[in-house]
Chains A and B, each alone.
Chain A
Amino acid sequence: MAFNILLVDDSQTVRAVITKALKLAGVEIGQLYEASNGVEALQVLDKEWIDLMFADISMPVMDGEQLVAQLAASGAIKSLPVVIVSSAGGEPRIRRLKELGVRDYILKPFVPEQIRKVVENVMGVPSHD
């Protein structure tokens, strides 16, 4: 099963690394969309069907926590699995984000196996090796 995936991070390096990790993990990608902050992510979400979103916390314009709060306020987060990929891994923030509906949290640096496990857990289907 192929997923439409949205990557939200102001670093093109991180977006490229996550893309590579998804491929190495055997995750089937339908369309891959990229955004460099929360505002751009909301614009993509307005236009496209997204099955799974990976988002960073620390971004200019609108950070990941603000993005998640907007998705929670609109109710969109109930049908859009959101996984945070960040280096800001304090417990208070992780707890706050999960209370808002974030499905999982990956601490950087990560390995493709972590991405595979998270996709399987969040989407409920095995990926292909």
Chain B
Amino acid sequence: MTENVRPTMEVTVLAVVEKLTFMFGEHVVADEITVNAEPWVSARMEFSGDVHGSLEVAVPQSLQPEIAANILGLETDGEPSPEVLDDALRELLNVVCGHVIVALAGNRTDFDLTPPRNAALALDQVTQMLGDPDTTCYLMDDEPLLLNLKFAQRWP
């Protein structure tokens, strides 16, 4: 990820996630992310058209209920089902992806998004993602959120 892409991506991601989930965050460097033994989950999707690539989000599983509850506007008591938790993470990624592409490539970009899919992440995969230069890191309500953007060509 080039250094002129990163700031645009960070600003866009924070704005979209805050508007969608009402969770306030900040972008941080990878060193500020603590990976402990708790399970992590991810969602991943591809985009194609004028621009090609993929976007993946990873969060600790413990952050999923807050994301889902905030998107759905649910009360805090009673946790959503695992299906809803995964669906909410996919939707978060889907919305972020559309905005990131337009922010980076412009409003006149024609692109398709594939439906996102979930995956469990092993801790070494999280560590690998953290060390990837295509990853940007965020703390949302003090919980880590990672986004890995890969594109098949330079941005226009």
Contact = CB atoms under 8 A, between A and B. Distances in A.
A123 B94 CA distance: 28
A57 B110 CA distance: 13
Interface stretch (A9-17, A46-54, A72-80): A9-17
Contacts of B88: 13
A12 B134 CA distance: 30
Interface residues of A, number: 24
A20 B71 CA distance: 11
The size bracket of the interface on B is 20 to 34
Interface string B16-27: 100110000000
Given A58-B113, A58-B114, A90-B108, A13 B68 contact: yes
Contacts, number: 69
B10 interface: no
Contacts of A109: 16, 19-20, 95
Contacts of B90: 11
A128 interface: no
The residue in B68, B83, B109 that gathers the most chain A C-beta atoms within 10 A of its C-beta is: B109
Question: DSSP class of B's interface residues: helix, strand, loop or mixed?
Answer: helix
B73 A20 contact: yes
B107 A13 contact: no
Nearest to A93: B110
A87 to B, nearest CB: 3
B115 interface: yes
B72 A16 contact: yes
Contacts of B101: 90
B84 A58 contact: no
12 contacts: A12-B87, A13-B71, A13-B91, A14-B91, A58-B114, A59-B115, A60-B115, A87-B97, A88-B98, A88-B113, A108-B98, A109-B95
Interface of B: 16, 19-20, 68, 71-73, 83-84, 87-88, 90-91, 94-99, 101-102, 107-115
